[in-house]
Amino acid sequence: MPENTSRTSDEGADRDSGPVDESGASVILSDETGSFAWGVLAKRHPSLIQQVRDAFPYGRRQHAALDALLDEITNGVVEPLAPSAHDHGQWAEWGRGHFGRPWFDAPFLWAESYFYRRLLGAVEYFGTGPWQGVDPFAPFKQAELRTAVVDEELGALDALADVSADERATALLHASLWGNRADLGFRVTEGDPAPGDATDGLVADDAAVLWQLLPAGAGSTVAVVADNAGRELIPDLILIDHLLVHRHAKRVVLHVKPSPYYVSDAMTADVVDCLRRLTEAPGEAGRIGNRLWEAVATGHVEIRTHPFFCAPLSYAEMPDDLREEFAAVTLTILKGDLNYRRLVGDRMWDARTRFADLTAYFPGAVAALRTLKSDVIVGLEQKTLDALERSGRAWRTSGTHALVQVRRQT
């Protein structure tokens, strides 16, 4: 059955059976057959188990654990982590009310996040044996870095050397934005999204505000919360280099995931792979790679991680230490679809709800750079929404549209 991925704002605001609180928008569940969320749990997750199984010479114990996980997510109920797991207590708390019930009844965000935690458990990522720390998604991430498309994308940087700083800034921001389409989880079931026209595909564009927040020479610190490795992280790194070279930022903190997540999410090892890929490239790409390598050594780029990045929670629930980090920077740039869902809340909002209102809790100015790959969307003008709905396309979920939304510090 095709995934039902396009709906009107009115349907969106009240169609789901998820809990509705004073926000008036229901939490997205996965229990409606044919919905996007249902498709992720019913199709994407089982395919992913198969892909991971095929990518490694796992032993009998891991195959049995993957079999059990597949059976549980398709026919069973949510089981807790083993009491011996290092994070058993944490997930017992986060999952209260969901254990013993069908996976499809849990909030979509929670179910996905817990699925990735369980997949890591099945392949013994957190164990003490030989598979400890072996990223089950590494083969997919590494294969992507070796493609000719990456060579082409890096080669295109040479042509940017001659354009004005403003044009270059826009081109690099768009490369980072549209790089978010290069999401291996998305491709487990969707295939490569058709390349749309980058400008026509923007449903909201606050890029001018983003640049206003980062005037050259102001000594700013920018936090970039990364999303996918490979073809998304490379343009993110190139944008970071641009921010530093053109003095939009004096320092950039790059936040990555502490463990494998949502298939291709970037971890420190992926930053290293991308930096190496850049430094080994000819021309401008190689120069950027060398500058970034040096910038890490001198502290102008700092790589950080936090367990919260793999938590099944909205940023509204972030812990105090992370809140203080974001409060201390000039601007936080959140990359990607999942970060957007966590920023505004994984709910069927009326698409015209103001982005600034939903992100008012965020400690400091915040920018979302995201291609649209799930039902959540806010901050649209009525006329934009009308045109999107008239198109009859699955614009919310197909990755053909994107947004730059910014909220200044309040």
Ligand X SMILES: O=P(O)(O)OC[C@@]1(O)O[C@H](CO)[C@@H](O)[C@@H]1O
Site residues, ligand X (CB under 6 A):
40, 112, 180, 183, 185-186, 227-228, 262, 336-338, 341, 373-374
Closest distance to ligand X from the beta carbon of 327 (Å): 24
Nearer to ligand X (CB atom), residue 238 or residue 263: 263
Of residues 278, 293, 158, 191, the one with CA closest to residue 230: 278
Nearer to ligand X (CB atom), residue 153 or residue 227: 227
Closest distance to ligand X from the beta carbon of 400 (Å): 12
- Residue whose beta carbon is closest to ligand X: 373
Nearer to ligand X (CB atom), residue 322 or residue 338: 338
Closest distance to ligand X from the beta carbon of 165 (Å): 28
Rounded CA separation 45/7 (Å): 23
- Asked whether 376 and 344 are in contact (CB, 8 A), the reply is yes
Closest distance to ligand X from the beta carbon of 291 (Å): 27
Nearer to ligand X (CB atom), residue 58 or residue 115: 115
- Residue 200 burial by Cβ neighbours in a 10 Å radius (0-12, 13-18, 19+): exposed
Nearer to ligand X (CB atom), residue 25 or residue 40: 40
Closest distance to ligand X from the beta carbon of 212 (Å): 26
- Asked whether 114 and 78 are in contact (CB, 8 A), the reply is yes
Nearer to ligand X (CB atom), residue 95 or residue 336: 336
